[in-house]
Structure 1
Amino acid sequence: MSIIIKFFIAPDDTSAASSVDSGPDGVFNSLDCGNFDASEAVLEWESLFTGQSFEALVASDEPRTVAEHEEGDGPLLFVVSEVLQGALTTASPARLAEVGELWIQERAVEGDAFDPEMVGELLRDLAGLARTAHGQGHGLYCWMA
């Protein structure tokens, strides 16, 4: 599980990858998150938004890794799929709340407990970041360390 998670926007994979060792702070507009497996979460969120199965998303190699620490045991950087970025960009507050509630229920089955207020704020802030990225023609990325 990650200790530090930062979603951020960048113009392209090459630009995003430049922050793999140090993180996106001070370089890119970013959102700091709590302690959860972000690579699994984006798949779960995309599944909840689209109805596509988690397994199908994994089979399609989502999320796509953009960069890793040289030794493979350090930070990881991946891009959020265009489908999820689009879903976040267009989601209404009610839809974000619905997906948040469903995600909390899914994670509870696995023994994880998430605060509904924290999840609601996370998805609202992430949707705002996705809208900013879309408006700039940029992608949405995640850095985990």
Structure 2
Amino acid sequence: MGVLYDYFAAASDEQAAATIDLEGGPGGALPSSPELQAAIRAGDREAMKRLMLPSVRISEHGLPVLSVKGIDPVVQLGTLEGLLTGVSTEVIFARPRSGMAVAVRDEGERLVLSLTAELQQVLADQAPERLAAVAGPWSQTEEFWGHGDATVLAHFLREFSLLARDAGGRNHRLYCWVCV
């Protein structure tokens, strides 16, 4: 099944920590998509790929969330932040909010981690063209074993930028719920 990641916005560390025990995490159950079901029945791989791309949505718990698999909030987003800012990952990883656990359950099998304010700001400030341009180099990093899908990552970055912009506009911070 893999590791599940719900990127979301919350007003405080306490509010973010409270999501640890929500059924299905901050994202809750993914809504059923009739379009995706039709594409699966038809065997339409292109439609399935398009319809399975992650998108920001308001979850059943009322939180703006971006649910993904395979994009780690510490190492992979640290590398992304470095690409967007030119700051070394050593500096990024030393920041107090970089991957700071605000809640932990089941011996670390469920976590809520904070993201850096710097990553949130740089994501909110980027034009879609810049995000698409960085997706290529990011996809080739060792964290993606040099084989990330730049098109999927560019889509993720556009959506993540929307989440960051919305969070900043509401004076919220970004977090990631992790379920192993």
Of all paired residues, the percent bearing the same amino acid is: 30
Q: State yes or no: 1:35 paired with 2:35.
A: no
1:131 is matched with which residue? 165
Aligned residues: 142
1:66 correspondence with 2:102: yes
1:112: how far off?
A: 4.6
C-alpha contact 1:42 1:63 (8 A) present in aligned 2 = no
Secondary structure of the 1:31 match is strand
RMSD of aligned C-alpha atoms? Answer: 1.7
Q: Please tell me whether residue 98 in structure 1 is matched to residue 100 in structure 2.
A: no
Does residue 53 of the first structure (1) align with residue 88 of the second (2)? yes
- Which whole-Å CA distance do the structure 1 matches of 2:127 and 2:142 have between them? 22
Q: Which runs of 4+ in 1 moved over 3 A?
A: none
Q: Which segments of 5 or more consecutive residues in structure 1 lack a partner in the other structure?
A: none
Which amino acid letter does the alignment assign opposite residue 54 of structure 1?
T
Alignment correspondent of 1:12: 12
Distance 1:91 1:8, change over 3 A: same
* Farther-moved stretch of structure 1 (79-88 vs 27-36): 27-36
Max radius of gyration: which structure?
Answer: 2
- CA shift in 2, pair 1:34/1:112, >3 Å: farther
CA distance in 1, matches of 2:72, 2:140: 16
Q: Deviations over 1:45-82 (max 9, x none)?
A: 1111111111222233522221111x423211111111
Q: 1-side partners of 2:140 and 2:168: how far apart? A: 29
Which residue of the partner structure matches residue 24 of structure 1?
26
**Alignment partner for residue 44 of structure 1, among 79, 84, 104?**
79
Q: 1:111 Cα shift? A: 2.4
- Report the TM-score when normalising by structure 2: 0.72
User: Where do residues 114-125 of structure 1 align in structure 2 (5 Å cutoff)?
Assistant: 114-125=148-159
Greater RCO between the two (CA within 8 Å, min separation 6)? 1
